Amino acid sequence: MLYQDLPREKLVELRKELSAEYEEFRKAGLKLDMSRGKPGLEQLGIAHDILTDDSCVSPGGIDCRNYGNPDGLPELRELFSAVMRVPASNVLLGENSSLSLMYNCVMWAYIFGVGGCKPWSQCGNVKFLCPVPGYDRHFAITEEFGIEMINVAMDGSGPDMDTVEKLVSSDPSIKGIWCVPKYSNPSGVTYSDETVRRFAALRPAAKDFRIFWDNAYCVHELYPDDAVQLADLYGECVKNGTQDMPYIFFSTSKITYAGGGVAAVGASDSNIAELKRRTSIRTICTDKLNQLRHYDFIKASGGIENIMRKHAEHLRPRFEKVLEILDSELSGTGAACWTRPSGGYFISFETLPGCAKKVVASCKEVGVKLTPAGATYPYRRDPHDSNIRIAPSCPSIEELTVATRLLCLCTKLATVEALLSSN
């Protein structure tokens, strides 16, 4: 029965029961961290052969220990090219962090301008579109550069493209958009083919408008035999003559090691030439030894897909356990709704308006740390205070069970209290 339909005295009674249950959790002395999409211990074991690989000369004869090859190891660029769906010559390898590659792209456009246009720092009030809920670290970059962030709603097929098209084509101060096109962080949504085609067909008012296509979860299936297909943005852009719009980001953070993977950016001929030139002032070369280890490991594994199957075996039961508990505890209560992603790292959870902060605080009070409420919105301001990001990857199934039950309990309690105080 919907909580909204319960009479007041029933709600009061429920609050009492739920509060008692909550006190039991307090006594349990929990200490769990579900705040970030951190791989679990089992997952870190998958890439063990990277640790034991002692090779230093690439198949093409490059001594990876020395300086040289500022674009990164050609063999690995070739391999990434297939996943990123841009030609290998248009792939530039970074260090372990795709975030820092995104940062560089924003930074260089801000300082020097991109594509021959005026630096964003000289363009007055520069704006980015931010599909919400989204990834807090994206928003932190644009916030750092004083770029105004405009929320764009997401639905099951991606960002609201009517709004995106309207804003991008009419406002030259809109210089970019943050996208996680597959298994979006945190909603788990994969952009539909139609959405991707509409992105490629954008006609921005700003010549230097860029799509920051953070394809962080491009191969991160929970059900590999029913893999979700994301349309090929770069290919669509080439067809439309808009290939200078996207920067395409990729990393192995959730394929090999979260802290020691290899990141890459792919872009059009002129974009990548600009990135390579700027990069050459910043550093002599990236760590080719780690690139070689990655190449060897992926080759020996028979490709990235085989590695991802092992991750799925670890992640799938965790996602299923969380969903099972949410279903059994909250279905029919009207207290929350949530996504059922078939890949990626997150479940997006929506409380009634005004309850998310309270729920996260209650969980924290008894030892379960969730992603801070609001984090999935620019400026940490969730207009409805309703979104919570659930990150099931790191805890054990037992821990997840406890933490999700607690989340359900705190959600019910916050809902009851909200209903009581609004009556």
Name the residues that contact a copy of itself, by CB under 8 A.
Answer: 36, 38-39, 41, 44, 47, 51-52, 54-56, 63-68, 95-97, 99-100, 103, 107, 110-111, 121, 137, 140-141, 144-145, 257-260, 278, 281-290
Q: Which residues pair with 131 in a beta bridge?
A: 152
Identify which of residues 290 and 386 has a Cβ nearer to a copy of itself in the complex.
290
Instruction: Pinpoint the alpha helices (H) of 217-366.
Output: 233-240, 269-282, 288-300, 304-330, 356-365
Tell me: cis bond preceding 39? Omega within 30 of 0 counts: no
Compute the least distance from the CB of residue 45 to a copy of itself, in Å.
9
The least CB distance from residue 134 to a copy of itself, in Å, is 16
Cβ proximity to a copy of itself: between 69 and 362 the closer is 69
CB of 256 to a copy of itself, least distance (A): 8
Name the minimum Å distance from CB 222 to a copy of itself.
Answer: 20
Nearest CB to a copy of itself, comparing residues 16 and 65: 65
Residue 51 beta carbon to a copy of itself: minimum distance, rounded to whole angstroms: 4
Quote the CA–CA distance of 358 and 351 in Å, as a whole number: 10
**Shortest distance (Å) from residue 126 CB to a copy of itself:** 13
Closest CA to 198 of 161, 171, 163: 161
Query: Residue 158: helix, strand or coil by DSSP?
Result: strand
Contact 94/265 with Cβ under 8 angstroms? yes
Q: Say if residues 102 and 138 touch (Cβ distance below 8 Å).
A: yes
| Alpha carbon distance 249, 257 (integer Å) | 17
Output 134 or 158, the one with its CB closest to a copy of itself: 134
Q: Which is nearer to a copy of itself, 67 or 421 (CB)?
A: 67
**For a copy of itself, the closer CB: 61 or 241:** 61
Q: What is the DSSP string of 41-105?
A: HHHHHHTHHHHH----B-TT--BTTSS--TT--HHHHHHHHHHHTS-GGGEEE-SS-HHHHHHHH
